[in-house]
Amino acid sequence: MPFKMDEEGRNKLIDSVASHKREFEGLLHPLESLTPDKPAVFISVGGGELGDLAITSAKRLYGGASGGVKTVAFDRYQGFPAQDAADASEVFNMMDGELLEKYLKKYVPDPSAPHAIYLEVEKIDTYRAFRLGTEKGYKVMSTPFGPLVCMDRHATKIMFDRLKLKRVDWEYANDDRGVHEAAKDFGLPVIVKPVMTSSGHGTSIVKTKAELDTSYAHAVEHARGIGDEVIVERYLPELKAMGTEITQIVVRHFDENGKITDSFLPPIEHKRPGAAYHESWLPASISGSAAEACKEGAQKIADFMGGIGVYAVEQFVIGDKVYNNEVANRPHDTGLVTRWMLNMDEGGVQLTSTIGLQLNPFSLEISRQGVYGVAHVVLAPPDIEGEMKVSGWDSSRLSALQTKGVRGDFWYFGKPTAYQGRRMGLAVAFQRDLELARRNAEIIAHYAEGCISYGGTS
Ligand SMILES: Nc1ncnc2c1ncn2[C@@H]1O[C@H](COP(=O)(O)OP(=O)(O)OP(=O)(O)O)[C@@H](O)[C@H]1O
Ligand SMILES: [Mg+2]
């Protein structure tokens, strides 16, 4: 690691962002035209549903390799969603920096040729990706240092404070005592999170002293990264009771003058019973002034980080108050709903912007006027043991819902195996009334869950 990941190292990382940004943006150029003889190469490192949305957009929007955009997708298992849609694919452990470099170089031997590398998943050798971007000229988007800042909760919070952004009160702790001290400062409840995590792994909402005693060990045990640090935040009970959550996506892209500019997707609203993504919709129901605050926070972050491509900023909204929570320097799972609700979905936006093409602001407008479009996750059952093969899915049964007046759609990802609660697809429903759309999306999702059958170990 170039930075020791303690408080001082993280501050140095944030200090270095401005100079990295200048250097990296100096390497980026608009792509004037697409040439089938020498296609731009778009590589999705990770090929789940978010990668699939970007990879398929190359064909949908630009005619694929014969139109001038060749796609490549990597993942760790055969049969991953983007594999059959991509022009080429590789299956390997992306945490292995040697292999990651080898395969990137296989498809982009000359980093000065038009290409873009989209880091779709977090479980990759991010430091190798950083070095390939900063030392060898590879176009790791949105920036090669993005994952170092955005995947590290402590570094992200330091960035928020530098930018004077509103966020929940937080402290970091290196041991049990530190967690107790932070809890004393804030008062219970607090939420204790590993520095590196996602989908709530290792996170606990602490309401009692007894829970506090085990929260540090739990966070460290389930952390994704190395180190023994945790983040303690003041818990906002009013978020679930009367607030809502937003993902504000900003895209940095070239404009008609060849300058990098920011454009905004409409705020995407989401609610979650637990910590993981469950349902999201467009348009959002927040107030105009909350929407402005969401946009302002997201713009400051994207401008600070720089590069080109998508930044997705997670925000908590309570009335007109907006708290910035996390940042992803890539498309976001709550944004999958853009496939149905925007003129161009977030995958197309990521591909278009990162290969250096201009983006038409009209692409970011809502396509279905007068309705709410709600997406709801379709999950594998909670009682699966280990990893199981998917033995089939019966799409014809879904049509039964039409007769019940449920209006919607279903996207099946085609993953070859499942484990407990794995995301297998996405249901979507459209209605003028938001609550009805949410109920309908849930009906489709639960019905679809029953159409997938599992059998045998993989
Ligand atoms: N301080 C807080 N107060 C109230 N609720 C919170 C707080 N922090 C997190 N949450 C709830 O927990 C969810 C997950 O938190 P967060 O995004 O920080 O963790 P995560 O593990 O990275 O999750 P994901 O990968 O799904 O984004 C939030 O979307 C929110 O619903
Ligand atoms: Mg989150």
Which pLDDT tens digit goes with each residue over 145-159? 999 999 999 999 999
Task: Give the residue-averaged pLDDT of 2-27.
Answer: 90
- At 413 the pLDDT is 97
Residue 333 has pLDDT above 90, yes or no: yes
Query: Nearest residue CA, atom 15 of ligand 1?
Result: 275
How far, in Å, from the CA of 199 to the mean position of ligand 2? Answer: 7
How far, in Å, from the CA of 155 to the mean position of ligand 2? Answer: 15
Which tens digit of pLDDT belongs to each residue from 361-386? 999 999 999 999 999 999 999 999 89
CA distance 41 to 454: 36
Residue 457 has pLDDT above 80, yes or no: no
Number of C-beta neighbours around residue 208 at 10 A: 9
- At 42 the pLDDT is 98
> Please, where in the chain does CATH 3.90.1170.50 lie?
370-458
* Residue 136 contacts residue 108 (beta carbons within 8 Å): no
Class for the domain spanning 370-458? alpha beta
- At 1 the pLDDT is 61
Mean pLDDT of the chain: 95
- At 174 the pLDDT is 92
Which 8-state DSSP code applies to residue 117? Answer: E
Q: Which ligand is nearest to the CA of 333?
A: 1
442: its two tokens: 């849930």
Task: Give the residue-averaged pLDDT of 161-184.
Answer: 96
Residues touching ligand 1 (Cβ under 6 Å) are 168, 191, 193, 197-200, 203, 233, 235-236, 239, 245, 272, 275-277, 314, 325-326
Lowest mean pLDDT among 64-73, 195-204, 317-326: 195-204
Number of C-beta neighbours around residue 343 at 10 A: 15
Query: How remote is the C-alpha of 444 from its chain's centroid?
Result: 24
Q: Which ligand is nearest to the CA of 233?
A: 1
Query: Nearest residue CA, atom 28 of ligand 1?
Result: 275
> Please, where in the chain does CATH 3.30.1490.20 lie?
169-235
Q: Which CATH architecture is the domain 169-235 placed in?
A: 2-Layer Sandwich (3.30)
> Please, where in the chain does CATH 3.40.50.20 lie?
31-141
Number of C-beta neighbours around residue 246 at 10 A: 28
Which tens digit of pLDDT belongs to each residue from 216-267? 999 988 877 666 899 999 999 999 999 999 999 999 999 999 999 999 999 9
126: its two tokens: 């991010």
Beta strands in 195-298 (DSSP E): 204-206, 230-234, 244-254, 260-264, 268-271, 279-282
How far, in Å, from the CA of 198 to the mean position of ligand 2? Answer: 7
For Cα atoms 58, 60, 65, give the angle at the middle one, nearest 5 degrees: 40
Which tens digit of pLDDT belongs to each residue from 40-70? 999 999 999 999 999 999 999 999 999 999 9
Class for the domain spanning 31-141? alpha beta
* Residue 375 contacts residue 350 (beta carbons within 8 Å): no
CA distance 39 to 114: 8
Task: Give the residue-averaged pLDDT of 2-24.
Answer: 90
57: its two tokens: 């957009």
- How far are the Cα atoms of 24, 251, 288, 412 from residue 295, in angstroms, in the given order? 24, 12, 11, 32
Give the pLDDT band (50/70/90) at residue 3.
low
> Pocket of ligand 1, candidates 153, 192, 316, 332: which has the most ligand atoms within 8 Å of its Cβ, to mutate?
316
118: its two tokens: 């989209």
Per cent of the chain over pLDDT 70 is: 98
Closest ligand 1 atom, residue 270 Cα: 29
Sign of dihedral through CA atoms 122, 127, 132, 138? positive
End-to-end alpha carbon distance in the chain: 36
Which residues, listed in sequence order, are joined to residue 88 by a DSSP beta bridge?
Answer: 72
- At 222 the pLDDT is 84
Closest ligand 1 atom, residue 237 Cα: 4
Give the pLDDT band (50/70/90) at residue 2.
low
- How far are the Cα atoms of 32, 261, 356, 362 from residue 256, in angstroms, in the given order? 10, 10, 11, 14
Which tens digit of pLDDT belongs to each residue from 112-136? 999 999 999 988 998 999 999 999 9
